[in-house]
Amino acid sequence: MQIMDTRQTIWDPIRKKNVALTPEERVRQWCIGILADHYQVPVHMMMSEAGFKLGEKQYRADILVYDRKMKPLVVVECKRPEVDLTREVLDQAVRYNMVLNVRYMIITNGLKTLILKRNEEDGRVSYAPSGSMPVYNDMVI
């Protein structure tokens, strides 16, 4: 007897394969579409589930956007729709940015999206809410 796989999948244009359609994956794919369509980020300049190390601990960013020199430019943290965007979620993105050093952080659950811009003044780094961010070509100038 053959057992059928009834899991739903969705095409991930970054990984170029079908992936399991979890609630978080649905948010990730929605966000990839927004980045590509609205912010004109070329799909080949994004990486999904990008791994990196902070100290001895391994982490994965849901989406990383790279500039033309393959330096991280934007980090996106995606949560399931029922997950509130709390200070803890923000702290997670800030920790990632200790390694990635990006200009913009996006935190989204698909229902609510926060865009934060990195500011540096007198050697101090802070993150300010931003209503939007520039399109890709304006960010990489």
Q: How many other C-beta atoms are found inside a 10 Å radius of the C-beta of residue 76? A: 28
Question: Looking at the predicted structure, is the pLDDT value of residue 47 above 90?
Answer: yes
| Placement of tokens 């540096």 in the chain | 120
116-132 residue pLDDT tens: 998 888 888 888 899 88
Using pLDDT thresholds of 50, 70 and 90, give the confidence band for residue 85. very high
The tens digit of pLDDT for each residue in 8-32 reads 999 999 999 999 999 999 999 999 9
* pTM summary value: 0.88
Q: 20 has which bridge partners?
A: 9
Residue 141 has pLDDT above 80, yes or no: no
Q: In this predicted structure, which of 2-6, 28-32, 63-67, 130-134 has the lowest mean pLDDT?
A: 2-6
Write the CB contacts of 126 (distance below 8 Å, at least 6 apart in sequence): 118, 119, 120
User: Which residue type is seen at 10?
Assistant: I
Domains of the chain: 9-139 (3.90.1570.30)
Structure tokens at 34: 């927004």
Between the two ends of the chain, the Cα-to-Cα distance in Å is 59
Indicate whether 86 pLDDT > 90.
yes
39, 135 Cβ separation under 8 angstroms? yes
Q: Which residues pair with 88 in a beta bridge?
A: none
